[in-house]
A = this chain, B = another copy of it.
């Protein structure tokens, strides 16, 4: 027995799913994003996490009492709207909802984030609410996309995800800027990188990656630094320096392509000019550290050989390229202790940073790792690292050492570039900044 459409209980549908239900009477569960009235007709913008739909309510078509409820609705009130799906070419999803009934779930009053401009500290204080706005939900969706596509790319290339610990007894890249905690009477530190551990696990599984929060207790305040951030760190046994760069450019090309394919709506909401993103095709150009120094000199940004780049230097370098660019073969002293020296020129390391276009800075740092026991031990001593704590790491060169390479990609850096953000703080749901631990 089938019932007529008026008698049948209306089904719950997501806003995203409305386009397939034109003509049906359905229910949408969501929140009131905005409302305007024109006499006896009210237009409600209702969002539910999958999209925003315009709901048209007419005083003479809704049950008694509902019209009064509608006119009193505060922003972000939660509600269940019942209505008939109408095709409407001007609407974002191609349809709108003609309201037949309304169930108010909770009436929100005096919502602090009214639809006007707010200062950034006020917004960050209300991050738990700010995340509901279209721009922020688009950023969350893009962030999810990046993680999904990066992991998908690696897994389909034969990588295994192997988690590395957050609590560690020693520092990977020096002992400054570490968060310390008491581990049952012993000092433990929050990890800055899972790389050393991944060097162990890649010998077990060939190609591995870790994907984990990392921490830098740095007192600096820049547009490109977070205290807590997420890093993807692939590590590959038997991969040379060249293999490593090749993997990076393939991966970045893939993820940018998938974003353009799946998230054009989000990029539009963010008003991102996608012309630059469309040019992201491997292979990427490369410039040596030495050539970069020359280029900087010509631009009036002279550095001594061995100096590290700052943001202005990176911006000047990328100005000369229309795609991400590898800066490679850095002086050994500017880089971490574990990097393999260039056999033809031991004063430079087989290391490259990938700089994003348009001045968004470094998104990847990678290198071939030292596989010779004696050289690694010498470097550990030169860097005054606690030799005892690195015995397990030296074991990897005692037993079955192989050429191997890897890199670290910062998710927030990548998102900042792809979304075209002024400041990295919007790239993470709950940013941890200098003097910001809340909410």
Taking Cβ atoms with an 8 Å cutoff, the residues of A that contact B are: 14, 29, 31-32, 48-50, 76-78, 105-106, 108, 111-112, 126, 128-129, 131-132, 136-137, 140-141, 143-144, 147-148, 151, 155, 158, 160-169, 179-184, 186, 188, 190, 197, 200-207, 212-213, 215, 217, 219, 227-228, 230, 237-238, 371, 389, 392-393, 395-403, 428-430, 432, 434-435, 437-439
Contacts and interface: CB of A to CB of B under 8 A. Distances in A.
Nearest to A159: B144
A402 B30 CA distance: 9
Given A140-B205, A165-B430, A168-B437, 20 more contacts: A14-B158, A32-B400, A50-B158, A105-B400, A105-B403, A106-B397, A108-B398, A129-B200, A131-B204, A140-B204, A144-B160, A148-B161, A151-B151, A163-B428, A164-B429, A166-B190, A167-B179, A181-B190, A186-B437, A213-B213
Nearest to A200: B128
Contact of A206 (B14, B155, B163, B435): B14
Nearest to A79: B400
User: What 8 A-B pairs are tightest by C-beta distance, nearest first?
Assistant: A49-B206, A392-B439, A128-B200, A49-B205, A76-B400, A108-B399, A78-B400, A106-B401
Q: Is the interface of A mostly helix, strand, loop or mixed?
A: mixed
Contacts of A155: 144, 148
Given A158-B14, A429-B163, A128 B181 contact: no
A181 B184 contact: no
A412 B149 CA distance: 25
Contacts of A105: 400-403
Contact of A160 (B140, B181, B183, B430): B140
A398 B75 CA distance: 12
B204 A400 contact: no
Nearest to A74: B399
19 contacts: A49-B206, A78-B401, A105-B402, A105-B403, A106-B400, A126-B395, A128-B393, A140-B162, A140-B201, A143-B161, A144-B160, A148-B161, A164-B429, A165-B432, A166-B215, A179-B182, A184-B434, A190-B190, A212-B213
